[in-house]
Structure 1
Amino acid sequence: MTDDRQERIRKRAHQIWQEEGQPAGQHERHWRQAAEDVDRDSAGKPSKAKKAPAAGKAKADSKQEKAAAKASKPKASKAKTGKPKKAAK
């Protein structure tokens, strides 16, 4: 594995981790996903031209905003009847 490729995978895995809300225990999945993303990007590029930084940042910001909005919504009650649960005696 070249140093450049490994560094790109590391950065992408970190980005995935942040976008998902920094969950613990998902580092292997993030690394595999990042490697696939980097390899896919490399296969589709005829040269080593970099993407426009604004485009990548906008996409990441959008995902972060969606995750933040989802996290801030109150959780729905699991009771199907809508009636409050009785207290245990």
Structure 2
Amino acid sequence: MSMTDDRQERIRNRAHQIWLQEGQPAGQHDRHWHQAAADIDQEDAAGKSAAKKPAKKEAGAGKAKADAKEAKAAKPKTSKPKKAAK
């Protein structure tokens, strides 16, 4: 399947979803098709721009490790009691 065929199929499926969501109105094929094409173009553009940008770390992903290290470092060390000499 070529890229054009894939795009046409995606538009066809999206137009059908729109038609169903609107209660299956008659005579709205062109409007549904154009709306679906715009939706697919927008999805494709968003996908391409997301692929160009480097992935961002999730907020707080590295923070949990840093917090654990800080907590461990801040924890007071306790010494073991010395054994009594016999």
Aligned to 1:10: 12
Aligned to 2:25: 23
Report how many aligned residue pairs link the two structures.
Answer: 47
Aligned to 1:87: none
TM-score, with length taken from structure 1: 0.50
RMSD: 1.4
TM-score, with length taken from structure 2: 0.52
Shift of 1:2: 0.2
Name whichever structure is richer in helix by fraction.
Answer: 2
Which letter maps to 1:19? Q
Which letter maps to 1:21? G
- Counterpart CA distance in 1 for 2:15 and 2:32 is 5
Structure 1 unaligned runs (5+)?
48-89
Match of 1:32 among 31, 34, 54: 34
Structure 2 unaligned runs (5+)?
52-86
Among the aligned pairs, what percent are the same residue?
A: 70
Greater RCO (CA < 8 Å, at least 6 residues apart): 1
Which letter maps to 2:23? G
Shift of 1:5: 0.2
Larger radius of gyration: 2
Structure 2 matches for 1:1-89, cutoff 5 A?
A: 2-46=4-48
